[in-house]
Structure 1
């Protein structure tokens, strides 16, 4: 076994232990993890897109924005988090329209802020949130793992050769099937029977996760970087590891919010939406 592969395995074990422990504990511990992910994502986003070099004031506002969102998540009112994120994004849009800031600035605030917000919102404070978070993890991780192995074993036409030459349609389809099965298995582990929408949601989250992976590949190719950073030994950066997860969380978050707004009304979390509670 090569030294690099050994390093990747050890890093993956440590990361999985931290994430699963925080998920089990929930509450402040998971919100802290979510905020940390959001801050590190903004660091890597700004580093890749060279925001500091292009406009220091905009870069400083970005750090201010993600810090304020994080502090509110940890010590403020949960009801203010989404309006606060929306207000800060709109504030960044105005100088971008005027041509003073780059649009990558707006994207960084939105992407990193929503990463933290959606993660924390899915986990919530109860056991249903714990089940919902594990459901999302299962979908994303099963998709990533099987997409890699199926793609290497079968090969075939490329999924998006200009963005990520290594990804194939066979890997994408194999990963999606694995994501649906993984998510459904987790749901059945917590509840004796689940609705038919469970595999449908798993399918949507699996596709969203793969889009997130391609989105980060597009950014790296656009700016000519190999890894988002070198924060994780053997793995590159945080964005390299959570790109699919955060897009799946985005999809899950908006799905739950949309269903709550236009559906039953009482549904306020992904767990309640998934498991009919």
Structure 2
């Protein structure tokens, strides 16, 4: 009996170690990302390009196309050319490169084309949206940090509320660990982020609360989407590149969805180089 009671100890120890790894990785990666976002320009574009290529490679690994040489070459070259174009403010050619690359995969991919094509589209969306939102010289950095903090708030609030409260599952067939309590906790912390920006004078309270609610919800849907893709192919983590978090896809799934929607919202209210203003000024 004593052995049975002692059995859960290694599991608890492993969970504690994993949590510490998550915290340590976040304490390094989050300030680094914000610092590079502050610098902007070529530094942010270079980081975005490298991350987008990483996202694409992880996607191919999940869907079983990582050994398709033509897919690898077309996808990585597309993202590289797109990133370089955006780095030098050539938005039109960058968009054209992304479109041609996605079209090329749709025609040439040997693996199931819908998955390889959608993977490149996903990575290109992350790259383009991340750079476009930062282009605004006055509001770009603030808007980007707002999106990042909303997504991080959604993740952190969901993690702690889900673990401490538990309760009914959100979508057990897709993500068995996510709960409604976690979803609400993530939403609440994201709303506090929006409120904090408003109180700091970066915008009006009601619009920023609405924006935080929408982006938090979309972020959580992006997380569920990535979980559904992994479950479809029987994969637990997209990779193990980030200690305690898994892969880039595991860490950035919510961000990709949120920043893409943020750019669309900003575009409806501003110009291509005024997306940040469109988000922050109502």
The equivalent residue for 2:200 is: 189
Residue number in structure 1 paired with 2:187: 176
Q: Deviations over 1:79-99 (max 9, x none)?
A: 332333233323333457xx8
Shift of 1:183: 2.2
Q: Relative to structure 1, is the Cα distance of residues 172 and 245 closer, same or farther in structure 2, using a 3 angstrom cutoff?
A: same
Where do residues 168-247 of structure 1 align in structure 2 (5 Å cutoff)?
168-191=179-202, 193-194=203-204, 196-247=206-257
Q: Deviations over 1:216-236 (max 9, x none)?
A: 111111111111111112321
SS in 1 for 2:34: helix
TM-score (norm 2): 0.86
Match of 1:72 in 2: 85
Distance in 2 between the 1:152 and 1:206 partners?
A: 19
1:1-277 matches, within 5 Å, as 2-53=16-67, 55-75=68-88, 77-95=90-108, 102-124=113-135, 126-191=137-202, 193-194=203-204, 196-260=206-270, 266=271, 268-276=273-281
Deviation at 1:30, TM superposition (A): 1.3
Aligned length: 268
Larger Rg: 2
CA separation of 1:153 and 1:8: change in aligned 2, threshold 3 A: closer
Query: Contact (CA 8 Å) 2:46, 2:87: kept in 1 or not?
Result: yes
Q: Give the gaps of 5 or more residues in structure 1.
A: 261-265
SS at match of 1:167: strand
- Taking a change above 3 Å as real, the CA distance of residues 159 and 101 of structure 1, as seen in their structure-2 partners, is closer
TM-score where L is the length of structure 1: 0.87
3-state SS of 1:234 partner: coil
Structure 2 distance, partners of 1:257, 1:220, is 32
Q: What is the Cα deviation at residue 126 of structure 1? A: 2.2
Change (3 A) 1:78 1:5: same
Residues 100, 244 of structure 1: alpha-carbon distance in 2 compared, 3 angstrom cutoff: closer
